[in-house]
Structures are given as C-alpha cells and as structure tokens.
C-alpha cells in the first residue's frame, strides 16, 4: 500500500504541552491521523521524543520525502523503514514520538482500508501469538484513583494508587471503579476539607496525606462502604526512580507493610530504573527463589512489573528475565517508537510468561489508540488513569465501544 501524503502539526496534550499529530492519506484515498502521548516520569532508557516543533519538521523534511509514494506491504515494513530511516540508537533524528504517530496513523488507515475495527487489525498484526481462546480475554482495568509523585504536588512519595476491578466486562469494571472513585472523593472532601478532591495529572485525587499508606486505607474504606471490597484488587506504581528522600531499605520496609496490610496484586517500578537486582531480590522474597520461580505473572498473587526498568525495550526485557527481576511488564508504545516493536515486546513478555499491562502516559491527547492496542493483543491489564478528565474518558469510552463491537 502506498502513502500518498503525510503531514504533521502540533497539538496540545492534557497538561497543555505541545505534542505532535500526524495525518496521512493512502493511495486509495483513506485518511487517518494519530497523536503521540508524553510521559513525565520517563525512563532514561526510553527512546527520545523530539520537541513538537522539531517533530513536525522531521515529518516534513525527513519522513515525508522518503515514504510518500513508497509501497509498504504491511505494518512491519513501514515500521522497519522508519527505524532504518532514523538510523540512531535512541531515535534522536526522527524522534520516537514522530515515529509512533506515523506508525499508528498508518495502522489506522490500513484498518479502515480493510473496514476492520482497529483492535481487530491489531489482532491480525499480532498474529499467531494470540492464544486461540484470547477472543474472550479482556484486559483488567488499572484505575489510578490517587496521584502522587511527579503527577501531583502533594508530598506522596509514590505515583499511582490503583484499583483493579475483577469484573469480567469493561462495563462492570468501569461501574465498580467509578463507584469507588466517587465514594473516595466524598470521603476525602469530608476528611480533609476544601480542595481535597482536586485532581492530579491522571485524574486521581491529589490531596496531602498523613503518610504513604493512607491512600490505600481510604480506598479500602471507600470500597467497603460501597460493598465492593471483594470486587477489586489494589495496585501501586511506585515510579521509584523519581522518589527523593527514601533509601532502598525504606522502600523495602514500605513494601513489606503494604503487602502485609493490603495484599496488593500489583507493584510497578518498586526500585530505581537500573536496579535489576533489587527487583530480583523482591521477586525472590515474595515469589520464591531462582530463575523463573514463582507462578507465571498472570496467575501469581503478586505482579512485580517493570516500566522505567524495561521501557518496552526487548533488550532490557531480556536482562530483566535473565536476572529474574519481574513477572509482569508495562508496555507503552511511545517508549519504543513503533507499533511493530510494541507488538514484539508483548510477544517477548508472553514467551517469558509475564503478565502484560499496556499503559497510557500521564500526558495524553484524546487519541484512544491504546484501548484498541490493549484489547487487540489480549493484554492482562490496561492502565488508563481515573475515570475522569477528557483524555482518560476517551479511552474508557472506546473500551466500552470495543466491548459492543466484539459482541456483534
Ligand atoms: C507511568 C506513567 C503512566 P508517565 O509511570 O507508568 O501512568 O507515567 O507517563 O508520567 O511516565
Ligand atoms: Mg510507571
């Protein structure tokens, strides 16, 4: 399929920062656009994003002249071409954000050409690796209801306090999560007064707390009040690389208390982004010793996930596997730059029997690609913030729509 035109322009993300959107047209007249999200607690090993203005220029000056009128048989061909065209190790020439927007826009245009829903097209691209029963599989929703760390100015060391509904459908999961979210908001306003229910970057509440465990106490109380305690698991993204003023030992003690008191299902980035060893020690402590020990991610009672540690990069994932650091992994397409590479990261995680949690970024546009991607690869989880703020709601509503499409 030939690309007949492509252009890029700046658009705003949810923090009012510029990011890049790409619009392209195929030779058959089908058009599609896509924009790149942006992180704040970004991993040092992530591929480089260019400032939006430079990304726009890179499409005009580098990408467009080389891909317009060129024939690409499939997504992998386009993505491999982009990687070669960039030619750097960290995507500093074209920019991982630019590449991703081009990659997703092409994916969308190809889905439209086939008249297939985007998630169906993702499933085809993902291909053989999908378990034949995967049709029925839905990622669980990782709903971030309290924001801390770099996503809020409230002194919480940890970045994301999540509820993870156990419900089998998106509709029920959203219902359960939203009820607890609302009950939590009311409880916070009552307990902490004016402004306590104000929102952080991902739509979670962001008041000052007495300590780093209090959010879970209040979440649990809100769930109890709504008689939904048994319908959820709890999760934490520590984003420990960005934690200031806590030693490794203090972190370990915190996780011990957390695990004892709240039995979370999920802990992401418990230690710094290069500390494969501390991850491995934690995995060994809670999931048993030795390589490959502990239940495979999805069946395990505790998912220890890499995000800044692994950065959707198969080289880093291989290191994490060799060292026994994790049994779950975050997949963020913009950390690596193309849809094909993100699919490869999912394939590798499946080969390692890790749980796969696809994730948005803290800076999002209303682009809802991530919902189709997560459903398409039958991820175990999708991290998408609170059920609040338009850029998060776009993804929730898309999931609900996917559920209706899949039932047809
Ligand atoms: C994370 C993300 C998304 P950011 O750490 O998992 O929630 O945050 O996009 O700021 O890196
Ligand atoms: Mg993270």
Task: Using the predicted structure, report yes or no on whether residue 301 has a pLDDT greater than 80.
Answer: yes
Ligand 1 probe mutation, 239, 358, 364, most atoms within 8 A of CB: 239
Could you give the residue range(s) of every CATH 3.30.390.10 domain in the chain?
A: 3-115
Class of domain 3-115 as given by CATH: alpha beta
Fold for the domain defined by 135-407:
TIM Barrel (3.20.20)
pLDDT digits (tens, 9 = 90+) for 45-103: 999 999 999 999 999 999 999 999 999 999 999 999 999 999 999 999 999 999 999 99
Task: Using the predicted structure, report yes or no on whether residue 271 has a pLDDT greater than 60.
Answer: yes
Q: Which atom of ligand 1 is closest in space to residue 144's alpha carbon?
A: 7
> Ligand 1 mean position to 165 CA, how many Å?
20
**pLDDT averaged over the chain?**
95
pLDDT digits (tens, 9 = 90+) for 348-374: 999 999 999 999 999 999 999 999 999
Residues whose CB falls within 8 Å of the CB of residue 243, separated by 6 or more in sequence, listed in order: 149, 157, 158, 251
Report the alpha-carbon distance of residue 218 to residue 214 in Å, rounded.
6
Q: Residue 311 has which token pair?
A: 């950065």
Beta carbon of 239 within 6 Å of any ligand 1 atom: yes
Is the CB of residue 174 less than 8 Å from the CB of residue 231?
no
Task: Using the predicted structure, report yes or no on whether residue 290 has a pLDDT greater than 70.
Answer: no
Ligand 1 probe mutation, 157, 269, 307, most atoms within 8 A of CB: 307
Long-range contacts of 194-201 (CB under 8 A, 24+ apart): 199/147, 199/386, 199/388, 199/389, 200/146, 200/147, 200/148, 200/151, 200/152, 200/154, 201/14, 201/15, 201/40, 201/147, 201/151, 201/152, 201/362, 201/363
What pLDDT does residue 244 have? 93
Order of strands across the sheet that contains 18-26: 3-12, 18-26, 31-35
Catalytic residues, which ones? 202, 332
Task: Using the predicted structure, report yes or no on whether residue 190 has a pLDDT greater than 70.
Answer: yes
Residues whose CB falls within 8 Å of the CB of residue 408, separated by 6 or more in sequence, listed in order: none
> Ligand 1 mean position to 159 CA, how many Å?
8
Could you give the residue range(s) of every CATH 3.20.20.120 domain in the chain?
A: 135-407
Beta carbon of 13 within 6 Å of any ligand 1 atom: no
Instruction: Supply the residue whose CA is at minimum distance from atom 4 of ligand 1.
Output: 39
Burial track 78-114 (b if 16+ CB lie within 10 A, e otherwise): bbebbbeebeeeebeebbbbbbbbbbbbbbbbbbbbe
pLDDT digits (tens, 9 = 90+) for 114-171: 999 999 999 999 985 555 555 567 999 999 999 999 999 899 999 999 999 999 999 9
SS3 track for the chain: CEEEEEEEEEEECCCCCEEEEEEEEECCCCEEEEECCECCCCCCCCCCCCCHHHHHHHHHHHHHHHHECCECCCHHHHHHHHHHHHCCCCCCCCCHHHHHHHHHHHHHHHHHHHCCCHHHHHHHHHHHHCCHHHHHCCCEEEEEEEECHHHCCCCCCCCEEEEEECCCCHHHHHHHHHHHHHHHHHHHHHHHCCCCCCECCCCCECCCCCCCCHHHHHHHHHHHHCCCHHHEEEEEECCHHHCCCCCHHHHHHHHHHHHHHHCCCEEECCCCCCCHHHHHHHHHHHHCCCCCCCCCHHHCCCEEEECCCCCCCHHHHHHHHHHCCCCEEEECHHHHCCHHHHHHHHHHHHHCCCEEEEECCCECCCCCHHHHHHHHCCCCEEECCCCCCHHHHHHHHHHHHHHHHHHC
Taking the model in full, what pTM does it have? 0.97
Mode of pairing for the β-strands spanning 303-306 and 3-12? unpaired
> Ligand 2 mean position to 239 CA, how many Å?
5
Beta carbon of 391 within 6 Å of any ligand 1 atom: no
Mean pLDDT of 209-222: 98
């Amino acid at each position: 399929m030939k690309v007949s035109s492509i252009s890029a322009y700046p658009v705003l993300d949810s923090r009012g920062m510029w990011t890049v959107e790409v619009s392209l047209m195929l030779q058959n007249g089908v058009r599609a656009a896509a924009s790149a999200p942006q992180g704040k607690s970004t991993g040092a090993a992530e591929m480089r994003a260019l400032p939006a203005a430079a990304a726009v220029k890179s499409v005009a000056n580098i990408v467009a002249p080389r891909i317009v009128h060129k024939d690409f048989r499939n997504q992998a061909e386009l993505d491999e071409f982009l990687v070669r065209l960039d030619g750097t190790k960290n995507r500093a020439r074209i920019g991982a954000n630019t590449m991703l927007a081009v990659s997703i826009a092409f994916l969308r245009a190809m889905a439209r050409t086939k008249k297939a829903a985007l998630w169906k097209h993702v499933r085809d691209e993902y291909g053989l690796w999908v378990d034949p029963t995967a049709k029925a599989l839905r990622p669980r929703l990782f709903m971030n209801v309290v924001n801390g760390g770099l996503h809020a100015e409230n002194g919480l060391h940890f970045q994301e306090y999540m509820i993870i509904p156990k419900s089998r459908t998106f509709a029920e999961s959203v219902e359960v999560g939203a009820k607890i979210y609302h009950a939590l908001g009311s409880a916070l306003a009552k307990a902490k007064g004016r402004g306590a229910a104000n929102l952080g970057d991902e739509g979670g509440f962001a008041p000052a707390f007495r300590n780093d465990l209090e959010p879970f106490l209040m979440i649990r109380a809100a769930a109890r009040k709504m008689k939904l305690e048994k319908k959820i698991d709890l999760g934490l993204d520590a984003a420990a690389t960005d934690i200031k003023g806590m030693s490794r030992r203090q972190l370990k003690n915190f996780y011990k208390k957390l695990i004892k008191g709240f039995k979370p299902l999920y802990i992401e980035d418990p230690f710094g982004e290069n500390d494969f060893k501390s991850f491995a020690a934690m995995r060994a402590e809670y999931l048993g010793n030795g390589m490959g020990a502990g239940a495979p991610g999805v069946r395990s009672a505790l998912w220890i996930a890499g995000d800044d540690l692994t950065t959707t990069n198969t080289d880093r994932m291989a290191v994490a596997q060799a060292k026994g650091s994790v049994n779950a992994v975050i997949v963020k397409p913009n950390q690596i730059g193309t849809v094909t590479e993100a699919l490869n990261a999912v394939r590798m995680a499946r080969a390692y029997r890790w749980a796969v949690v696809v994730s948005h970024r803290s800076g999002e546009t209303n682009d809802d690609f991530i919902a189709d991607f997560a459903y398409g690869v039958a991820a175990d989880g999708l991290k998408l913030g609170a059920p609040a703020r338009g850029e998060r709601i776009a993804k929730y509503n898309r999931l609900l729509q996917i559920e209706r499409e899949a039932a047809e």
